[in-house]
Structure 1
Amino acid sequence: MQILQIGKAMWSYDYEIAACTLIDEGGTLFSLTPPPHHREGEIIMTADSLVIDGYNYLNIPLNKLEQIYLGFDEVYKRSLVKNNGMFWQPLRLVYKTGDGYNTIYLIIDHGFFGTKNQLWFDTIKQLLSDD
C-alpha cells in the first residue's frame, strides 16, 4: 500500500452538520475556534482508498465514490465558518455503502490561512480520471 498523501482531518456526516443550531453557528465565528466538525483523525490517501483513522475509523474505496465536491452547499453553509469561507471550502464526498449512500464533509490540515482541501480534491479527481 503506497501512501500518496497524509494529513489531519476534521470531518462530519451530512446529518450531523444539518443538526447544527444557531448557537453552534455563532460559536464557530470566534477566533481560534475550529470549524464545525464531529470527528477528528489522520487521513491517508492511497491509490485506491481514503482511510480516516482516529476515534472513529472510516475506509472509503475510491471506486465507491459517487460524488466529490469542493465548496459550500445547503448543508454546510458559509455562515458556519469565519469570514464566510473566504480562505477555504469543505470537501464533500458521497460514497456507496451496502445499504445506500453516505455523505461526509472533510476539512483537511486546517490552519490559520486555510486548508489543504483543494490539493486533496485535485488529487482525488486525478486518481479517479486515471481509472
Structure 2
Amino acid sequence: MANVEITKVRKCFGNVEVLHEISLSIQTGEFVVLVGPSGCGKSTLLRMVAGLDVPTSGTIAIDSEIVNSVPPKLRGVAMVFQNYALYPHMTVRQNLSFGLKLAKIDSFEIKKRVLEASEILGIQSHLDKKPGQLSGGQ
C-alpha cells in the first residue's frame, strides 16, 4: 500500500479538457471508489495513476515521489474495473494466479497470495468455479 497524492491534474485530448485540476489525497490503507457518469474521467484518472496516460499538467505522487514520467511497470499499480475480464476457461483460482505465473512467482507463493486475496475478498468458496458459474456480483 502507498500514499497517492494527485495535485491539480488536468488531461486534454486535443482541444477537449476531460479532467480539470483534479486534486485527491489517498492515504495508505484507505479504500477509494471513483463513481460518476460515463465519460466523466474516472478511467482516465486511473490510467494516469497507473502510468498508461500522462497528465497534461499537474502532478501524481506515489509515496511522495512524483511519478508523472515513471513507466507503468515501475509504479506497482493495478486497477480493477466493474466490468471484469476473466478467462472463461479458467477457474477463479486460475484467473487470480495467472498474472503471478507470468511474473514467474514461485508456485507456493502464488498459492499463498491467492488464498490471502480470496480471504480478503470473501470468495474462498468460489475459487474452483469458472466465470460462467458466478453471479454478476461475485
TM-score (norm 1): 0.27
Structure with higher RCO (Cα < 8 A, 6+ apart)? 1
User: More helix per residue: 1 or 2?
Assistant: 2
TM-score normalized by structure 2?
Answer: 0.26
